């Protein structure tokens, strides 16, 4: 029997990278998977890759109507949620002098507003004792030049968990932060339109990571499985770093 046998799991931002790897791993462990993404074609391809009768639902988490439609579909098809992995997010570089209102709003609308309302709108469907996983970032712990808006958004996500574990304590719902380091995903390889910049950034990160490489999405998914399953039944409000040691030095 798999570690998530019979569980209903919703993963946002599951059309690529860590979200997709987690959907594949969770499905292999017996979960019924609902996976979201903004781009129809990528999401359809991801659903096929996951298999196991996974369901793909197009959703922009910064859009309240999209979120309402998402959870209405989950309610109609499954009636409950055992694991919510609020993974969708993103960001890009901008120096302090170059940050614009549009840049700020785009990142905070997705990473902060989107995460908040993903969890809020899921609450009526979450079973007592459910697991909520939020995706954090090592940049919320260590400074990164020209990444301040993204870093601040992920610091906000980390602090959501501190409050939510108190609010959700009567229902025994756990909330934990999964903190990936630099991971070999399309997002990391496409941080900038400048391939040379991306290559230099990845080399710099590898040089400052004790394990000397980027993580594979499957390695982060394995940690997500721990937080989703009963193996972490007494883990609550924590940050689980999957960063090769980069934020620890």
Q: Which residues are catalytic?
A: 150
Residue 30 burial (C-beta neighbours within 10 Å; 0-12, 13-18, 19+) = middle
DSSP sequence for the chain: --TTTT-EEEESS-SSHHHHHHHHHHHHTT-EEEEEES-HHHHHHHHHHH-TT-EEEE--TT-HHHHHHHHHHHHHHTS-EEEEEE---------GGG--HHHHHHHHIIIIIIHHHHHHHHTTTEEEEEEEEEE--GGGTS--TT-HHHHHHHHHHHHHHHHHHHHTGGGT-EEEEEEE-SB-SHHHHTSSS-HHHHHHHHHHHHHTSTT-SPBPHHHHHHHHHHHHSGGGTT--S-EEEESTTGGG-
Give me 21's structure tokens. 């790897």
Other beta carbons within 10 angstroms of residue 71's beta carbon come to 22
CA distance 235 to 239: 10
* Chain position carrying tokens 């301040």: 148
């Amino acid at each position: 029997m798999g570690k998530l046998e019979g569980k209903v799991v919703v993963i946002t931002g599951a059309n690529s990278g860590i979200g997709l790897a987690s959907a594949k791993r969770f499905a292999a462990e017996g979960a019924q998977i609902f996976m979201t993404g903004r781009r129809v074609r990528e999401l359809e391809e991801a659903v096929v890759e996951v298999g196991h009768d996974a369901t793909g639902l197009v959703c922009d988490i910064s859009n309240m109507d999209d979120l309402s439609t998402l959870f209405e579909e989950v309610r109609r098809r499954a009636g409950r949620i055992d694991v919510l992995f609020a993974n969708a997010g993103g960001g890009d570089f901008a120096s302090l002098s170059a940050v614009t209102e549009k840049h700020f709003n785009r990142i905070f609308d997705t990473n902060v507003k989107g995460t908040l309302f993903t969890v809020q709108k899921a609450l009526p469907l979450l079973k007592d004792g459910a697991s909520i996983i939020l995706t954090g970032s090592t940049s919320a712990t260590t400074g990164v030049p020209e990444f301040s808006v993204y870093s601040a958004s992920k610091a906000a996500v980390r602090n959501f968990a501190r409050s939510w574990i108190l609010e959700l304590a009567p229902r025994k719902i756990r909330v934990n932060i999964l903190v990936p380091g630099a991971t070999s995903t399309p997002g990391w390889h496409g941080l900038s339109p400048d391939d040379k910049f991306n290559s230099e950034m990845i080399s710099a990160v590898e040089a400052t990571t004790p394990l000397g490489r980027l993580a594979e999405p499957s390695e982060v998914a394995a940690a997500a499985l721990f937080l989703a399953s009963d193996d972490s039944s007494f883990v609550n409000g924590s940050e689980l770093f999957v960063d090769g040691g980069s934020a620890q030095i």
